[in-house]
Structure 1
């Protein structure tokens, strides 16, 4: 029995709408036919990775480069992009019939690539691509024959030259399906259109519903319409109410349709866009990005916070939190976190031997994935080192895929990621044969080639009863009652050939006959018309006006159809206008009558000044308060409740620390490192020594805790910070020397009690002078005007709190703010710090002790409210009432306190928000 093969340009992946008796019949596109012929001729070969072909061809380009080739300059700038382009040229020429040679008088580019081609055929260095496989089939068919009955559904002349040769060898015959279609009734719009296309005439639409263009602002609404049409779930008055056998055709993705079908609990088509951003596929680029100097802390955070990461889960979560707060690697917080992780492993281990093994494994994993050598992106990294890393990642991915608790879908993605890592490894190994270093730009290009194809969602499969679909208009080779053309928008169109007229003439002499853009467009136009002719009852064109937020054009076929209508327009229904009952923007009396479930608007909760909790026992006192928690309790009780009682907190992994917070932390640690360094005597050091020590410490801390400022584009900011650091450190040391400070304690832990219970905190700088007197210095990045106002109004509560915890025998220590950005020290007076900027209280009798008493009174007042379940919401848009007034001798509370508010979405919304 002879196998009957239907072969067409668009039939790859073809599935008939109905399961007819197809015994002995197969419908194939170019890729399917290629595989079928290879199998029958005994030529089956393992399909090579694209990267192997690319790097192999790049080596040949280098071997043939004498410095005067047309590609010599490009080879030095972007070799992989060059190899990609020229290999594509070469494959297109081979498919067009090129014999691989060039005459002496041929164009220079053709002669150069002909020499590369001869080297390729002699060395066999480049694995065969589809064009090479087709050429091998043509050669084998010269010596043998196959018992196949090949029927072409597209004209032979529209196939590439090499395909024409193979099809002629197979004795293929042409049967265009459009010549045998049963057209719609001639008294319908669809029938008139079909005959106008066939006879190259025109027609006047009568708006009978057989031809329809549906438009909507986006694909979501169109997908709902398609789902209802396919299920015949429309009122009898709808122009698409009739139950007809339906098929979808599209050149675009059907993924949006499946999303809607899933929401409406209908069978899925199994369509899924291939994406390079599936979680396991993201790991390879992230892992390799850590080799570059300076280290990008954002990439490091993404690597550690990624759900698929080779660093053990407890360690990566802890280290990711460190990186988010101190963007860098190797700093004090980083080392402390690793030490804590090792202590936890010791406590969890059964015995000492197990603990040692666990700690060794952790250190090895951190060394393998994080403690990497760093290379200059412009100079490049050794390809062998990067290849080893890819191989290590491939092994880890493969091992992870074999775990029992891994779902089938995740296992598929892990294996795909392992395959990509191996392909990258092979590509890097090949590149190592011709170059000692690969730059970051070249590595990124290689990764683009490896990951470009992406992977579809593994669990995405067609379900029983799903609407039949065609991947291209040219695949509409059988009549169908109703055809729905999804995404009737402008597709890919033929581009101008990148070769000159002389080069095309020279190629033709060597057997290559390339189709011109005009010929390609005419072929596309013929295939575009096929769905129109295949529909026997109704044709519905679905056109979104925007796709992914961008405006899209009407399909070129739509312009042709419009021209056939003459002065009339294609019957069009604007779904958004129809749903809004707006008759103005429709061009037809027809209605789809798409019925969507009405949704009752639910207003956002409004702002309220007070929340009342029926169970106030949930608002009991905390065992230990700090300045931060007390500040929230007094000024923003709602934040205290949501943070410390409800424990609603923003994730520390959302983003890196930036702005004033990052700069303040950096300068805190800079001052701590300098003032506690036993090798640096700040009391005796000269200005030059202070500057040198500051500069060295600053550069080290940038890499460890603030690598954000080392990234491209941050040079000016980094220099500004360096200048500020020099000025700030010098000013602080001068202030300490002027105050005859002899002892400094950094981040001094303090604790004590107050009327509300235990109180704890950490003083930024606790200094002691030659007389033994103490002073509390709080370091602030900026805001000197605000801090000066606090001191003058005697409202510096943070200083008062720390002073309360350090007071000895009723003596309160001196207090001051040091503003890091400006290098100035603010104090109530100059008694302790003679060079301070004095900000005396406006009231003569204002003291720190008095401020503390006001705080205690305010605390008791606010605590009584919480004990009664009353929570004040001090946000902008609310007005204080009688309950908001503090007692006479208590600290005054501002009307609002929401400048820094993580809970803005929970406190209510203003009208018209």
Structure 2
């Protein structure tokens, strides 16, 4: 067998060396694996994360003083760094035996190695074992006849010169590789401003070739380039690096994030919503860890109560347990997940056995769903490696949450990209590193020739290098080690006649510099006094310069094309109204205040959301921020108003206790680490506000009669096509009575828009209060808001609000609201659906980029005009609307 060996040839395709004819191109790792196979030294691979865990035990046993503080502060990262240094020293040829006078780092490695002798080996140990076996004068044939070396053995680091010498002694003939002859290749550099322009240029170059020999050097992922190739009917290159953030490697971290206390409800929602497999053939629903019906119920429960253990959560679990139409495995996983989040692992009990127990259900679920699916097979491997790591550790060891996260990340490694799917092509050969180019002459297209700052290995200082040399190592200076890769890359490039480089000045929105090898090529062309940058600039052209009157022309690649005239993007539409066929069937089955607000503020929003049932994903409806806190404080008011010990207004301590009791159920994310200040601030603000609320009610002689009381009232809408009666439903926050028995309705608001609700009340446009008062059928019902964040009432009752606000005419206000809803439904039925709030901005020459203060002024003018006509205008807050892309307020209209 003939082996072409180069220091940078790992990853080269077997066929590049003529594998079918008993020849191959190999780098260091591939050659070691081949020799292990020939000498019967192969063994099952050991995951690096498992080796780190084993090394941590040796580190704990040796306990060298030099790393003691680091190991206590960050045990996993410290151990991983020590193991990397240890492997580098072993690969360099050192035998780590303790002796006096060693530098501290080397002494620590030697002390740990004395405790590490029984641990499972890594790649460095494989190399050492090969050398040791070959030292014994192997007499059987290795099956290798010729070893063609790209580098002289004496220029290689560590044990490699010795290994190559031993192979020669064992009968393997060594030959130097032929140097790439001739001068440097012709250089043409195309630099685009963005990846899209670069991909289009490279695809045109490949599409316009006439069949001449070509190699493609893909130095960056080709995802965008592959899209352009497919547009032209060409096969994809399929180059995409593996990464740690692939979907398969996110399942385990996401699962563990909800297994540890405190539970992050947003992470729980993400886990519930996670789809792990595409929909089966003929199906509409992608497969998730949680079955679809269970997922919907649990996400709806979290949307009502963003926490664990509330009434909605319990009812959802009971419904799932009773759902016999769901597969037993799915129900069991949901039950296990519910038990886990109900009793998550506290930090002080985070031990390997607890983590293994917590992941049992996930392992069973992945096995049940997997059935050969590559994505779930990779996720199962991730979990299995983590469990191996945990088995290596002492059961009594308490893990830090950061340490566990590091273990999970290390256990996953990197997963292949779904875009790494090269397609067969006879027109070109593809490789990913300059050293892998074949000396075939012809052209090379170098895609993504960006600067590569990859580390060249462990750097030892002079004293450490001297100590390692005394221990048997061969240490090359970092510059000589880097030169091996540089020389290999230049040899590969010099085997081409012409180098066409297509790169972008910016990648992922960050500026990138050209590859260092381009500087070497430019330096060979520089005239006296000429800098590298000048040479590169002289060989560089912009993508637009490849376009001429006859079409595309670059380095002999030609392709006819038409260049469309430049055109400005179309402006956003002035008229947002949609005119469609009449839709008399779009009548609400029931109405609520939120629907009434949509009908008055934006008919398109109501049509999309209620008429056509277009809704955001369930996970997007899990409350957070002000909405979550508002829900929490509403529940606290309900609990305090219904308490059995009502001998007077609740004091601050009682309010504080109730808030703390409700937070895990309704605002559990405030219990997460790092949010202590936010929780404390919210708690004290709510305590002051609620004490003021109950004290003010008592001082005004008001008695709470109900909280969160549901109402349903028939509402007749006199539409042009005939009257329609629908139920109007909702919940009133607080019902009360004054000393004379007159009803009082108070709506609670947690908001930082302190002027909004006083303004609505004083201008007679507080429609929500009128809607809540209507079912009481009392024209003189007293209504008002209580602003929870500010601790203030907005009401006409001077005992509650001393600002002297006018009495709200709820009857007239409701009549205006009904007129507006009727007009809206008539227009929708006729097929004319406007976006009223957005149109108000458009008519004023404004859009979503308009500052909020200016937009509020515009809406205020529209409200004044509507009041003069006895109508209502509602600001639908287009800047927060989920449908602003559909109506035309947001996005590119071209």
CA contact (8 A) 1:98 1:511 kept: yes
CA contact (8 A) 2:241 2:420 kept: no
User: Corresponding residue for 1:237?
Assistant: none
Note closer, same or farther for the CA distance 1:17–1:265 as it changes in structure 2 (3 Å cut).
farther
CA contact (8 A) 1:637 1:872 kept: yes
Note closer, same or farther for the CA distance 1:886–1:623 as it changes in structure 2 (3 Å cut).
farther
CA contact (8 A) 1:387 1:426 kept: no
Indicate which of 884, 888, 893 corresponds to 1:908: 888
Asked if residue 320 in structure 1 is aligned to residue 295 in structure 2, the reply is no
Indicate which of 759, 766, 772 corresponds to 1:802: 772
Could you state the TM-score of these two structures normalised by the residue count of structure 1? 0.84
Asked if residue 232 in structure 1 is aligned to residue 196 in structure 2, the reply is no
Asked if residue 763 in structure 1 is aligned to residue 760 in structure 2, the reply is no
User: Corresponding residue for 1:206?
Assistant: none
Unaligned runs of 5+ in 1: 184-190, 195-209, 234-241, 403-407, 583-587
Note closer, same or farther for the CA distance 1:764–1:598 as it changes in structure 2 (3 Å cut).
farther
User: Corresponding residue for 2:132?
Assistant: 139
The farther-off stretch of 693-702 and 144-153 is: 144-153
Note closer, same or farther for the CA distance 1:494–1:373 as it changes in structure 2 (3 Å cut).
closer
User: Corresponding residue for 2:29?
Assistant: 31
User: Corresponding residue for 2:856?
Assistant: none
Structure 2 counterparts to residues 348-427 of structure 1, below 5 A? 348=325, 361=332, 364-367=335-338, 369-376=340-347, 379=348, 381-402=350-371, 411-427=373-389
User: Corresponding residue for 2:788?
Assistant: 820
Note closer, same or farther for the CA distance 1:860–1:398 as it changes in structure 2 (3 Å cut).
closer
Paired with 2:663 and 2:28, the residues of 1 have a C-alpha distance of: 57
User: Which digits, 9 at most, give the CA deviation of each residue in 1:33-78, with x for residues without a partner?
Assistant: 122111111111111111221111111111111xx52112111111
CA contact (8 A) 2:190 2:543 kept: no
Paired with 1:580 and 1:479, the residues of 2 have a C-alpha distance of: 29
The farther-off stretch of 647-656 and 111-120 is: 647-656
User: Which digits, 9 at most, give the CA deviation of each residue in 1:213-263, with x for residues without a partner?
Assistant: 222223443333333333434xxxxxxxx6421012345444554343334
The farther-off stretch of 244-253 and 571-580 is: 571-580
Paired with 2:454 and 2:248, the residues of 1 have a C-alpha distance of: 34
CA contact (8 A) 1:627 1:798 kept: yes
CA contact (8 A) 2:17 2:24 kept: no
Shift of 1:553: 1.5
CA contact (8 A) 1:828 1:839 kept: yes
Shift of 1:608: 4.2
Indicate which of 373, 386, 393 corresponds to 1:431: 393
Note closer, same or farther for the CA distance 1:702–1:800 as it changes in structure 2 (3 Å cut).
same
Shift of 1:865: 3.5
Structure 2 residue matching 1:624: 3-state secondary structure: coil
Structure 2 counterparts to residues 560-579 of structure 1, below 5 A? 560-564=520-524, 565-566=526-527, 567=530, 569-570=535-536, 571-578=538-545
CA contact (8 A) 1:470 1:476 kept: yes
User: Corresponding residue for 1:508?
Assistant: 469
Paired with 2:263 and 2:335, the residues of 1 have a C-alpha distance of: 20
Shift of 1:422: 1.0
Shift of 1:603: 4.5
User: Which digits, 9 at most, give the CA deviation of each residue in 1:418-437, with x for residues without a partner?
Assistant: 1111111111222225x520
Note closer, same or farther for the CA distance 1:505–1:812 as it changes in structure 2 (3 Å cut).
same
Paired with 1:265 and 1:811, the residues of 2 have a C-alpha distance of: 74
Structure 2 residue matching 1:825: 3-state secondary structure: strand
CA contact (8 A) 2:655 2:691 kept: no
User: Which digits, 9 at most, give the CA deviation of each residue in 1:803-823, with x for residues without a partner?
Assistant: 22111xx55432121221222
In the alignment of these two chains, the number of paired residues is: 836
Structure 2 counterparts to residues 478-557 of structure 1, below 5 A? 478-492=439-453, 497-535=458-496, 537-557=497-517
User: Corresponding residue for 1:14?
Assistant: 12
Paired with 1:612 and 1:603, the residues of 2 have a C-alpha distance of: 21
User: Corresponding residue for 2:760?
Assistant: 790
Shift of 1:133: 1.3
Note closer, same or farther for the CA distance 1:767–1:373 as it changes in structure 2 (3 Å cut).
same
Note closer, same or farther for the CA distance 1:726–1:144 as it changes in structure 2 (3 Å cut).
same
Paired with 2:48 and 2:246, the residues of 1 have a C-alpha distance of: 20
Asked if residue 223 in structure 1 is aligned to residue 191 in structure 2, the reply is no
Note closer, same or farther for the CA distance 1:363–1:395 as it changes in structure 2 (3 Å cut).
closer
Paired with 1:805 and 1:904, the residues of 2 have a C-alpha distance of: 34
Paired with 2:696 and 2:627, the residues of 1 have a C-alpha distance of: 24
CA contact (8 A) 2:456 2:482 kept: no
The farther-off stretch of 326-335 and 133-142 is: 326-335
Could you state the TM-score of these two structures normalised by the residue count of structure 2? 0.86
Paired with 1:469 and 1:912, the residues of 2 have a C-alpha distance of: 37
Paired with 2:68 and 2:423, the residues of 1 have a C-alpha distance of: 49
User: Corresponding residue for 1:285?
Assistant: 253
Structure 2 residue matching 1:905: 3-state secondary structure: helix
Paired with 1:623 and 1:794, the residues of 2 have a C-alpha distance of: 28
CA contact (8 A) 1:301 1:324 kept: no
Shift of 1:440: 0.8
User: Corresponding residue for 2:620?
Assistant: 654
User: Which digits, 9 at most, give the CA deviation of each residue in 1:306-352, with x for residues without a partner?
Assistant: 11354333223332343355432222332233344445x16x58xxx
Shift of 1:113: 1.8
Paired with 1:258 and 1:606, the residues of 2 have a C-alpha distance of: 32
Structure 2 residue matching 1:877: 3-state secondary structure: helix
User: Corresponding residue for 1:835?
Assistant: 800
Indicate which of 851, 859, 871 corresponds to 1:891: 871
User: Corresponding residue for 2:406?
Assistant: 445
Shift of 1:685: 3.8
Structure 2 counterparts to residues 463-474 of structure 1, below 5 A? 463-465=424-426, 467-474=428-435
Note closer, same or farther for the CA distance 1:381–1:493 as it changes in structure 2 (3 Å cut).
closer
Shift of 1:655: 6.7
User: Corresponding residue for 1:780?
Assistant: 749
CA contact (8 A) 1:856 1:890 kept: no
Shift of 1:449: 1.2
Indicate which of 845, 855, 859 corresponds to 2:817: 855
Structure 1 residue matching 2:841: 3-state secondary structure: coil
Structure 2 residue matching 1:747: 3-state secondary structure: strand
CA contact (8 A) 1:851 1:891 kept: no
Note closer, same or farther for the CA distance 1:138–1:912 as it changes in structure 2 (3 Å cut).
closer
CA contact (8 A) 2:351 2:397 kept: yes
CA contact (8 A) 1:93 1:512 kept: yes
Paired with 2:349 and 2:321, the residues of 1 have a C-alpha distance of: 35
Indicate which of 639, 664, 667 corresponds to 1:673: 639
CA contact (8 A) 1:791 1:839 kept: no
Structure 2 counterparts to residues 100-179 of structure 1, below 5 A? 100-121=96-117, 124=118, 126-141=119-134, 142-145=136-139, 146-149=142-145, 150-171=147-168, 172-179=172-179
Structure 2 residue matching 1:438: 3-state secondary structure: coil
Structure 2 residue matching 1:267: 3-state secondary structure: coil
Note closer, same or farther for the CA distance 1:526–1:805 as it changes in structure 2 (3 Å cut).
same
Note closer, same or farther for the CA distance 1:858–1:182 as it changes in structure 2 (3 Å cut).
closer
Note closer, same or farther for the CA distance 1:76–1:151 as it changes in structure 2 (3 Å cut).
same
Shift of 1:531: 2.5
CA RMSD of aligned residues (A): 3.4
Paired with 2:321 and 2:891, the residues of 1 have a C-alpha distance of: 53
